[in-house]
Amino acid sequence: SDYEQLGYNLRSNLFQGGPLKSRSLMRDSYTPDIIQKAIRDPNYWHGRRIYELGKWYEKYFLDLKVQKAMKDKYG
């Protein structure tokens, strides 16, 4: 049965799990001194400031509301 097959696979260690040491593209691409010099600023996110993202989302949701209102009014 499926249950016995699963038990056999677990006993024979076919499902070995994830790697013991995780790797990242940043650590593989850059030298350790670049990683140590990196500054993590919570107000600066991937080249954009948080308030810029907030403004973008505000405009995006306003646009969605306008589209919905137009669809309800004109079909």
What is the residue extent of each domain of the chain? Answer: 2-74
pTM above 0.75, yes or no: no
Confidence of residue 48 (pLDDT cuts 50, 70, 90): low
d(CA 33, CA 74): 60
Sign (positive/negative) of CA torsion 70, 71, 73, 74? Answer: positive
pLDDT above 90: residue 24: no
Sign (positive/negative) of CA torsion 29, 33, 35, 41? Answer: negative
d(CA 21, CA 15): 17
pLDDT above 70: residue 60: yes
